[in-house]
Structure 1
């Protein structure tokens, strides 16, 4: 395994099965990324729900230059299977407070990258700590060109998703700190 396929995850997280692991008939690649979060899992989960409106990565690349929101948007927490997230994904399944699982919507993206599914899992570690684990699955490459594409895509995804996970971690931690400060001044 290389850092392009496995970044920031524990061996226990790697061994765990996630909802996206069962969505493809012939899954190939499995990439994983993970970060520690200084906030409870429920706070983190609400930030993951905000993928409905923005990708929280490098906005100049994948959000047409618009900044991803830095404040909670409660309407994004109302989830339904089939909703669009980050313009190219469809919500496949979810358990509030635990995971959101997506499939790349058919179109140009799937023609370029193949069928891709992913799960963002929010895992409690303690009362004020959690983990954000992302698991990405793609179809098994059927040609040498597709295998090369997937290797390159893994590196590009690492750069983008690392930024995304670190941004969400920081925003969730900031919200937790603001809440703690508000409670202590009462």
Structure 2
């Protein structure tokens, strides 16, 4: 693993150096957080599970889904993402490259007016022999003491929540790959 907590978790050097659309959406100075996980499932299946974040957060449901369990089966049509739609309750989609990435920016709110926007890109990258890599990049403004404290606090909180989210999506994609006999190896 490259990078240091809380800015990076599971990310290798390529993940950290790769440009993501979220990088260009927040004015400098910005604080970048990168989280990644390898998935023993083909990219198309990993993408479908990533798109489930249009339906539910797949993190700690008690905390971020009002106690409702995130679905454990794919929701038909969830992978039909459209610019402008809401993702993970707080982001509006600004770009979608089907099968590869979606990028969003926080909706206007009191918090975003005080500390600035937060952008995020979730990407699925093909890896060796029918496996994939799920990478998330979040960028927050780090301007002034308030922005600096906000970005660093967000990084620690996001580390806990997004780690759980990525591991849950990984687990579900790998389960479905096994069911379909699409496991690599």
TM-score, length of structure 1 as denominator length: 0.91
Partner residue in 1 for 2:178: 177
Distance 1:18 1:157, change over 3 A: same
Deviation by residue 1:111-139 (Cα, 9 ceiling, x = unmatched): 46531001001011023211101000112
Unaligned runs of 5+ in 2: none
Partner of 1:34: 36
How far apart are the structure 2 equivalents of 1:172 and 1:112? 38
How many positions carry a matched residue from both structures?
A: 180
The residue correspondences of 1:122-161 to structure 2 (distance < 5 A) are 122-142=124-144, 144-161=145-162
Q: Report deviation, 1:26.
A: 2.4
Partner Cα separation in structure 2 for residue 167 and residue 160 of structure 1? 11
Give the TM-score of the pair, scaled to structure 2. Answer: 0.91
> 2:55 corresponds to which residue?
53
Q: Deviations over 1:26-80 (max 9, x none)?
A: 2510000000101011101111111111110000001000000100112111121
1:2-151 equivalence runs, <5 A: 2-111=4-113, 114-142=116-144, 144-151=145-152
- Which piece of structure 1 moves more, 109-118 or 53-62? 109-118
Instruction: Note closer, same or farther for the CA distance 1:46–1:113 as it changes in structure 2 (3 Å cut).
Output: farther
Unaligned runs of 5+ in 1: 182-186
Q: 1:54 to 1:100 in 2, by over 3 A?
A: same
Q: CA deviation at 1:24?
A: 2.1
Q: Is the 8 A contact 2:142 2:150 kept in 1?
A: no
